[in-house]
Chains A and B, each alone.
Chain A
Amino acid sequence: MFDNLTQKLESVFRKIRGEGKLTPQNIEDALREVRRALLDADVNYKVAKQFIADVQARAVGQEVISSITPGQLIIKIIYDEMVKLLGESRADITQAPLPPTVVLVAGLQGSGKTTFCAKLARYLHTKGRLPLLVAADVHRPAAINQLEMLGKQIDVPVFSQQDTEAVTIARNSIEYARKNIRDTVIIDTAGRLHIDEEMMREIEAVRSTVNPHETLFVVDAMTGQDAVNVAKVFYDRLRYDGIVMTKLDGDSRGGAALSIRAVVGKPIKFIGVGEKLDALEPFYPDRIASRILGMGDIVTLVEKAQEQFDQQKAQKLEEKLRRAEFTFDDFLEQLREIKKMGPLSQVLSMIPGMNKLPANASVDERNLTRIEAIIQSMTKDERRRPSIINGSRRRRIAMGSGTTVQDVNRLLKQFEDMQKMMKRLSKGSLRRSLRGMQFSL
């Protein structure tokens, strides 16, 4: 389902090679592929339609210059348009001229509001600010408990009141912040449906009571076509200033980001990339655009790799690789580094060419776990000198790791191949080696 759009377009365009200009006729098939990609990514049907029309208007008449193929040209146009539509990257919160700054957080049930509130508090806290979390969800069972526990984890106070209405809690919290010198008040609210009149009135009342400097709408990245309806009604009622998209650590393509931007025109300010409280990132339009289009995003991968790899370790490893002294211990370490970067399918999808694997789904993460188990069942000596692993050792390792002798054989063979390949990499960079390794897994 998630074939590489670039490749599809290349094949679509093969037949119009040699024509000098893009015309409505010769880009029709290409645009159909683009539309398909957008719909698979959950971009709203109407938004996709409008987007394609815009791209078409921009593309038609463009000269096809010899240095790039028509496919590349149209990809560039689409990509640029999309990045433009997604807006700029700005992870900022409007500051109150006079503290405290008040941030109101709203959204559907289960979208990740409470978690985001804690993440934002942690982020501000690490920057030296003095946030206050406010538990204004009086509906969901144990919502107050949840926020209190999260607050404790990050050492940020939580304001709560039992058996009190949300509006009153919110109002009192501002007073409390003033008295206790907290400079940012983050108000968590109950999840609600946009069509639940009573609940929408509640949050409107909270809003008009506390007059937030920043209102944020939280949306799940896995949301489908309905995202536009929800985002629009919340906007009509709350005039929020920005959007937070959560759960982007999965493999959803996040097309809702484009739909919502198109409908309400507000910036996406933060993205959630995990359940832990440090899993908050600024929003980068170029990355989401690549993701929606299903195109490799080498930039992100490289950045991620750089973040995660300790520079010194990397150098040492590179030396070892060059001298082919790479052992199973190093291999294991690498494996864990790769796992740290995120789900394997996600890491792989960031490498151009890799996302044309028969759907990300076929990348079996269990393999990693199995390989890890096998290596862990080896003795120190065996890890350093795999050549000593004879038949009986193989049987023992298979038993110990709950795998089969064939599994062990396969891994040893792959490892040997990899060592050979690494020898050939005369002055290959670590990154290239890393890529080689992923192919061999």
Chain B
Amino acid sequence: MTAPTRAPVEYRDRHTIFGDLRESIADLRSHGELLAQLTSRDIKLRYKQAVMGFAWAIFMPVLIVMAGLVVRLSMAYVSGKPLSVDGMAGVAVKALPWAFFVGAVGFASNSLLSNQALVSKVFFPREVLPLSAVLAQGFDTAVGTVALTVALPFLGATLSPALLWIVPLALLLFILTTAICLFLACSNLFFRDVKYIVQVLLTFGIFFTPVLFDAPMLGERIAPLVMLNPLAPILEGLRLAVVEGHNLLVPLRVMEGGKLVELWSPWLLLWSAGAGVVGLVLSITMFRRLQYLFAEWI
């Protein structure tokens, strides 16, 4: 006997994107406890048996700033312009979110595989695994933010109302990172090739994202291309808001060589937000629909 003998009842949930989102939010709410426990586990594990302790949280950003210093020094040498302190403040501000992104993607994309026993034996909404990895990285970033807040006044940043932009930008960064992490964690479970792709992405991503350099340095042809990277407006926005006190709802144009060059446009923010939200919706939908296959494929 190889086929059903009696009329089988085909049971499928009527999936809609909206339904998936609602289900996901309801599940996360009812499993908030689990999310909190897993996040605190991930945080504890980072600092257990680690001699450097919390210093690790600022280690990565500090390294990025140092790399930025090298880049800026060589740029200054080639162009003959002096190295600006403002520039370094910009790198410091952008180092932190980049470190967050790299760390979160690194941990989260592997989160389903590294919890194989759980995934194949216990039921709970699987989103909590990548999500807790992102949140644990968020904790590191929060520690780093404290350190940065102490350092910034010395780098020439001043208090301005534009600092309030940090909140929506941080939220946007979180949305975009979560979207990418859910997608990668899920694909990594099905295809082990994904972890190599992630490595490449994280290694070379810094060249296509304005972290060590500022987008305008690339000139008016290439700068808009770099800004297509949805992370770029977030990073550049942070720099403009924190270091230059610029209100991001206002375009920033400067006269350069007799031409008006646009350094910032509010549309960039919309592009980034759109990419983040659409990405998150799609990745949650994908995750939701595939999660019943996780135990079979892992």
A is bound by B: no
Q: B-side interface residues toward A, CB under 8 Å?
A: none
